[in-house]
Structure 1
């Protein structure tokens, strides 16, 4: 009996050691301190390249990996120290696409052409390189286009027949919107007005030189409190955090003739940052938000320690597995945004599910 108990104790001890070791070697969060992460798989090099917000002042760095687990810092790949630089600060949300043997980086920054001294004068620019690790050089020395209001979070979708579309978020800055949540906040004495950011889409010229036609409004926060999306998309307001509602960080992909637009809501610097999605039969909508939103959010309210989950992109790896790439914070990392990868599943009925946030081997 003593020997049997000893064997059982050893077995339990080994199991606990395995669990503890597995947790210590977990991949989430990755050892990459990025916000707004984006991963490109390059067939020529057989490697993954990650870009994001952070890592260097007034520019971008890149990381490379062969297995999505171990990442090597490749240093600065874009900097303002170049003749055609148009941005001055706040270099955010780079996404890199390979087209015709060249690499194109779409990014957001504060535009130096600012006669009215706006506090948020953001636009989207394009830089190009012959290597995924740069150096990326601005194409024109100015933003891609000027819609007359600040914009961030450029995302490009390459459609059939050579057409391509740019998606972006109009900033909350100086965009107060009347809504039932704004009325509620004012009645509660919390905020006098609520500013909102909205997602737009517009066709993009094949050479990336200009946009075609007028941008089309695709997604915005709900105006009615009865809307099922209103609760989760308004948490930054209802918690008293800030007088803004965001719809940003869009990412578009197609599956079974349906266009999926993933997006983030709430304050990127807070715990309520979360991800939802909408679908359409056309790349420029109209889009209908999913009744299952949000599909990625904090788990601190259920005993976990991950919060601020948002601004995702999507990666299909070389084995065909689909990943949701996003940033989040943990109790250990504090305010520092870290990169997470969790599996993105599409059910037979078309519903999206993100298997996360997880901290796992």
Structure 2
């Protein structure tokens, strides 16, 4: 006969008063595995749903853009069906290259904003933003909104943000080249004959709110059409660099989320009239943009060269002429801290080298002003491939604090288990010391401690309808302290069932089934976490409150 739930997660050995002597602690850990396909992940804690949310370039179902995952603990990720933006939405402005989504929540208005990159391919739209209808790789930044972190997100408008970044001092080398634009001029003298001025294609948005209320957009100047002469290598190298620009704040305070973000007036059309003789369009069929907005260079090889960023400057020869010689700086995230003297320090992490390459890695820079100048750390790269443990292409992550401790930081990012594999979601501890201008990562292999605020765990079981096949079943639920449930099909965790009389129990995710022949016996259900040790791959989860207190296993019992 099917029995009722006997015991919950905490056995009544002690009174609650006895336990209330400190924060909850647990032996539960996680292992960075390959269970969640994700690229360019942005992760945030969402108080409304009491869970972590991840947004990814990859991982969406067919018919959607951007994968979405949710987790109680930054490790057991559950995929949200569909994705962030449905690709048949009437106002999806971009035509391809849906990259690098980041989600921000406004507590006052209740709106979630999804910034993302996209590319135009239709010549007229390309010309409206970049002057030339055949502008190579015409990427821009758009914003979609939702009332839920799970989406669906809908574009605010059928166009990207109101921003036309322009570089009046750049000699547009592409105008001297022929498709597929692989071979630049052989000398600086020839390159300097190219016309001045070009619009800047942009990807990888990251929005930063400063203490004074100003809102800043950091983005990567897409490498295309940014050929930079290198005296070091005696040739042109195509680069992506990181820029910053201040945004207005009307969009953020709009209670209806119908206002498209726009560049702040201090950056609007600052290059008007430059360069001399500039013509806005190539012909009357393709009217080009008339504004020439500004930006602040933040990260580039020219500003501060570092050798680790040169992994692909010889790719043209190495690929038998099929690739360009390039450098990348992309995927930035900015945070702010104060040193012991009360001076602000802005830390910016960024990724360099080709994302497809094992050499993809993470560096950082620091500044005393949000607009810089930023100085790259001499310790770069601070996160990079490690072939000895099968981790490659580490990079393009985001920084967030645990749900209960603002000082406990993490860096979710993507990596590959081998150079040719997909990108997956990994998480490493992240530390910042503003006095020493230091940024570092904790281990991202082995058994890694869960973030603060996950414990105490709760476990419960409810009977399922009798299937009439000689078995009884229960649906088991395990939740974090926040109330968010764990996906028990995730390889990071499981429920282990033990039947007192030696009968066999089967476990399928959250469903535990026992033969009715075991009638009268009890079944102990224990929550376990995966471990990196192949000889002991699972460990019972225990927890306690306050040092010196007895550990209690996260378990419950049901009767058959």
Smaller-chain TM-score bracket: 0.7 to 0.9
CA distance in 1, matches of 2:227, 2:42: 30
1:283 to 338, 358, 370: 370
The structure 1 segments of at least 4 consecutive aligned residues displaced by more than 4 Å after TM superposition are 238-242
Cα deviation code 1:273-309 (max 9, x no counterpart)? 1111111111110101111111101112xx2311111
Cα distance, 1:160 vs structure 2: 1.4
Residue in 2 aligned with 1:190?
none
Q: Does 2:418 match 1:338?
A: no
Cα distance, 1:230 vs structure 2: 2.4
**Residues 322/66 of structure 1: CA separation in 2 closer, same or farther (3 Å cut):** same
Q: TM-score, normalised by structure 2?
A: 0.55
1:202-221 matches, within 5 Å, as: 202-208=245-251, 209-212=261-264, 213=267, 214-221=294-301
Residue in 2 aligned with 1:22?
none
Residue in 2 aligned with 1:103?
112
Contact residue 322 and residue 344 of structure 1 kept, 8 A: yes
Q: Secondary structure at the match of 1:297?
A: coil
Cα deviation code 1:236-257 (max 9, x no counterpart)? 2257475110111110000112
Contact residue 366 and residue 437 of structure 2 kept, 8 A: no
2:392 to 289, 301, 307: 307
Q: Does 2:306 match 1:230?
A: yes
Residue in 2 aligned with 1:8?
none
Cα distance, 1:355 vs structure 2: 2.0
Cα distance, 1:167 vs structure 2: 0.4
Residue in 1 aligned with 2:359?
272
Residue in 1 aligned with 2:401?
316
CA distance in 1, matches of 2:333, 2:249: 19
1:88 to 95, 98, 116: 95
Contact residue 314 and residue 325 of structure 2 kept, 8 A: no
- Which structure would you say has the larger RCO, counting Cα contacts within 8 Å and 6 or more residues apart? 2
Residue in 2 aligned with 1:18?
none
Residue in 2 aligned with 1:10?
none
Residue in 2 aligned with 1:50?
54
Residue in 1 aligned with 2:126?
114
CA distance in 2, matches of 1:52, 1:167: 18
CA distance in 2, matches of 1:30, 1:155: 26
Q: TM-score, normalised by structure 1?
A: 0.84
Cα deviation code 1:79-107 (max 9, x no counterpart)? 23112110111111000000131100000
CA distance in 2, matches of 1:30, 1:317: 22
Q: Does 2:213 match 1:162?
A: yes
Unaligned runs of 5+ in 1: 1-24, 187-192
1:153-192 matches, within 5 Å, as: 153-183=204-234, 186=235
CA RMSD, Structure 1 to Structure 2 (Å): 2.0
Cα distance, 1:359 vs structure 2: 5.0
CA distance in 1, matches of 2:381, 2:440: 10
1:121-140 matches, within 5 Å, as: 121-140=138-157
Greater displacement, 232-241 / 69-78: 232-241
Cα distance, 1:119 vs structure 2: 3.9
CA distance in 1, matches of 2:417, 2:446: 10
Cα distance, 1:260 vs structure 2: 0.4
Cα deviation code 1:157-177 (max 9, x no counterpart)? 011132110000011111110
Contact residue 169 and residue 249 of structure 1 kept, 8 A: yes
Q: Secondary structure at the match of 1:162?
A: coil
Cα deviation code 1:199-233 (max 9, x no counterpart)? 1101111134201112111110147xxx6x52101
CA distance in 2, matches of 1:234, 1:313: 24
CA distance in 2, matches of 1:194, 1:289: 20
CA distance in 1, matches of 2:442, 2:233: 33
Q: Structure 1 or 2: larger helix share? A: 1
**Residues 278/308 of structure 1: CA separation in 2 closer, same or farther (3 Å cut):** same
Residue in 2 aligned with 1:146?
164
Contact residue 80 and residue 87 of structure 1 kept, 8 A: no
2:70 to 64, 75, 81: 64
Residue in 2 aligned with 1:39?
43
CA distance in 1, matches of 2:313, 2:369: 32
Unaligned runs of 5+ in 2: 1-28, 128-132, 166-198, 252-260, 268-293, 339-343, 448-530, 532-560
**Residues 359/309 of structure 1: CA separation in 2 closer, same or farther (3 Å cut):** farther
Q: Which has the larger radius of gyration?
A: 2
CA distance in 2, matches of 1:335, 1:109: 24
